[in-house]
Each structure stands twice: as structure tokens, then as C-alpha cells.
Amino acid sequence: MNIKSVYTYAFALAVGLAAMAAQAEDSYLPFALASNDAGKIADKLDATKTALTGNGFTIAGEYSPYEGAHIIVVTNDELKAAAKTHDRGGYVAAQRVSLTEIGGKVQVSYTNPFYMAKAYRVDSKLPQTSAALKAALGHTKDFGPAKGLSEKALGKYHYTFGMEYFDEPLELASQGSYEKAVATVEKNLSAKTSGISQVYRIDIPGTSQTLFGVGMKSEGAKGNKYQDDKFIMSEIDFKELRSTAHLPYEILVKDKKVEALHARFRIAINFPDLSMMGDNSFMNIMPTPDAIKEALTKVAGGKSGDF
């Protein structure tokens, strides 16, 4: 074998090994389908909640963002422990379970704990939470985008060039203390400031982190539809299996600061294959990131220039 042949063989071998490694790397999807059986949400809601609490979950809150959809937010000790692994880990403390009526059936689905743990960069794979959700609700298959994301890709995810990462959140406000920040958010959510209401509150033990889940509606006839849960989901959640458990959005209080994940990250991490343009695309909700930022800033008691 001459030198040229040796180099050609070595190159082919390297390419082949790289391809095998890529194929061997596991990929993950954001949601899990538990069941899809005939019925109505009302027929299944109580049994779903009983199954969750019977498998170690605490129900932090629930709401119906629009007709035919109901979301239950749960937490447990493992989720709270994972949230403590860094000062912005609070987002992982809530896992979301959805019941969605489609075609005479109810899709019971939930967020994939491993996927969320890696996206939010916490130091845990959440095996107990994954097992408990499967035990409580069952597991038919994972779903979401046509192609999943690897663990490595999740840890450094952003939608495309110029779009925000996990560590580039919306900085909504800074108050005098953690206690004041929490009280301000809770007061404004209670008042439904800017059409934003509280779905749940989870305090992370041993930290100055509190996670709020929020429902978002436009404010009457003059409201901004681009912040509305129903409108946003009507544009992005159109596949046969619905990703209702994308909701609700979150606000995180950490120390005296209030933040939220940027919409261009928060939406994209659950819908990474959503097209940039065309029908059911990011183009149709282009004003949404600014609308969410404006509404949540008011809830946090912030104003432009706080940071």
C-alpha cells in the first residue's frame, strides 16, 4: 500500500468512526405521551392527580389555559434538590403534566425530566422523577420535534445564530431584597397585572430561589394577543400530539433579582424544529418575545434601565 492509499484509508476510517459515534449518541425529546384514550378531561382529571400524589409528587398548581386543555404542575424532593445545584436551577423544580382533548380522546402527556434537566443545566438526570411519572401515568412514547437533541446539544442549546441561550435570560427587575422581590411578584400576580396570573409558587429550600408559574392572557379588547397563551399555542402547537405541557411560562426570583427565560429560548427549547418562516412558524409570533418581556417586567415591578 502506497502513502496516498494509507492516507485515503485513514481518512475513510476516521469519517466512518465519526459517523458511528454520531449514530451512537442518544437523542432526547421534550415530551412524553402517557396515554391517548377516549373520554373527556373531566373524566380523567381526578384519577391523574391521585396517581401523581400517590407516586410522591406534590401538586404545586393547575390551570386551564384554554378550552380542551388542562395542566397540572408537580414537584418533589428530587426536583427541588436538583434546583439547588446552581443559582438559576429553580426552573427545573416544576414538571408539567397536560391533559388535552383532541378528536374525542384525551392525550395525557408530561415533560421529559431528563430533557429539562439538561436544558436547564442542573447537576442531575432526575431518574427518580422519570420513574415516578412513568409509574403514575404510564409511558407510550416520547415526542416533540422530528429529531431529538443530544445531551451535549441540550446543554448549550440555542435556536440559531443570534438567538439567546439558557444563560441569557430576561432581567426583569431588581428589588431591595429576596423577600421584597417575592412579595412584589406575588402581589402583582394576584392583581393580574398586564393579564398575568399565578398558577403556582415553588420555593427552593436552602436557597434564595422561588419559581412562579404564570398564566398569560391578553387584556380585553385592547390587550396584546402576542402574550396570550391561547394565541401562542394556536400558532406553534399544531401537530397530532399536542405539546400542551409547554405551559405555563415561569418567573424566577433569585436573591433580589427577578428574571424569566427569554422567549426565544423558552419556546424554542420545546419546539426546536419550528420553522422560522411560513405557516405555524416563529414569524407568526415575532412580537411575542417583546410582549412577554413587557408584561413580565411589570409583574416584577421593574422598568427599563433596572440593570
Max Cα-Cα span within the chain: 79
Query: What pLDDT shows up at residue 222?
Result: 64
| CA 239 to mean position of chain CA atoms | 17
Other CB atoms closer than 10 Å to residue 123's CB: what's the count? 11
How are strands ordered across the β-sheet holding 170-174? 170-174, 257-260, 249-254, 209-216, 196-204
Retrieve residue 6's grid coordinates.
Answer: 494509507
DSSP the chain: --HHHHHHHHHHHHHHHHHHHHHHS-EE-SEEEEEEEES-HHHHHHHHHHHHHHTT-EEEEEE-SSTTEEEEEEE-HHHHHHHTTSTTGGGGG-EEEEEEEETTEEEEEEE-HHHHHHHTT-S---HHHHHHHHHHH---EEESSSS-EEHHHHHT--SSTT---TTS-EEEEE-SSHHHHHHHHHHHHHTTGGGEEEEEEEEETTTTEEEEEEEE---GGGS-GGG-HHHHHHHH--SSS--GGGPPEEEEEETTEEEE--HHHHTTTT-TT-BSSSSSBGGGGTTHHHHHHHHHHHHTT--TT--
Cell numbers for 63? 390551570
Cα angle 125-149-101, degrees, rounded to a multiple of 5: 85
pTM (2 decimals)? 0.90
Q: How far is residue 216's CA from residue 194's CA, in Å, rounded to a whole number? A: 9
- β-strand 249-254 against 95-102: which pairing, if any? unpaired
CA contacts within 13 A on the Cβ side of 97: 34
Domains in the chain with CATH codes: 27-299 (3.30.310.70)
Query: What pLDDT score was predicted for residue 23?
Result: 47
Instruction: State residue 7's pLDDT score.
Output: 44
| Residues with pLDDT less than 50, the chain | 1, 3-4, 6-12, 15, 17-23, 305-307
pLDDT of residue 303: 84
Length, in residues, of the chain: 307
